[in-house]
Homo-oligomer: A and B are copies of this chain.
Amino acid sequence: MQTFDTVDELHEFVEMLLHRIDQRYTIGRRAVVELLASSERPLSISDIETRVPEIPRSSAYRHLSDLQKAGVVRRIAASDEFARFEMAEDFLHHHHHLLCSSCGQVIDVTPTRAFERTVARMVDELTAAQGFRATSHALDVIGHCANCER
């Protein structure tokens, strides 16, 4: 996992990942990265539109898709109909998601080491029999967030 002391280091690393796939690190992409990196939780397109209204929708989608290809950003399918985006795990601690099935909110939670060791072992078992090569995993807990739970 990478850690970044300064925002500049973050941007440098992103730039490197983009360069790998022959992409430039432009103003618009930088704005998206800055927003996602400073956000506590995964953001939907409309969240992004609200907070950075000067980026048009089509560009936002394109930036996210390019950043995803570069391994900077991760797309997650929530329990409601729209996708959400967050920084890839190289930029964050490995974590899982609590999905509120009432309001669609997504909350990040960090697992213990012990748990992740168990998960990794289990994933190996599960996939080996199927000839499946795992690249990542996600544990989603579905339920109701504190707000919706009353």
Contacts and interface: CB of A to CB of B under 8 A. Distances in A.
Interface in A97-129: 98, 100-101, 107, 109, 111-112, 115, 118-119, 122-123, 125-127
Contact of A144 (B107, B112, B126, B133): B133
A7 interface: no
A143 interface: yes
A125 B116 CA distance: 14
Question: For the complex formed by this chain, how many copies does it contain in all?
Answer: 2
Nearest to A98: B132
A130 interface: yes
Interface residues of A, number: 37
A109 B130 contact: yes
Given A111-B122, A149-B131, A140 B138 contact: yes
A26 B101 CA distance: 28
A92 interface: no
A125 to B, nearest CB: 8
A139 interface: yes
A59 B137 CA distance: 34
A146 interface: yes
7 contacts: A98-B134, A109-B126, A111-B122, A112-B125, A130-B146, A137-B141, A139-B140
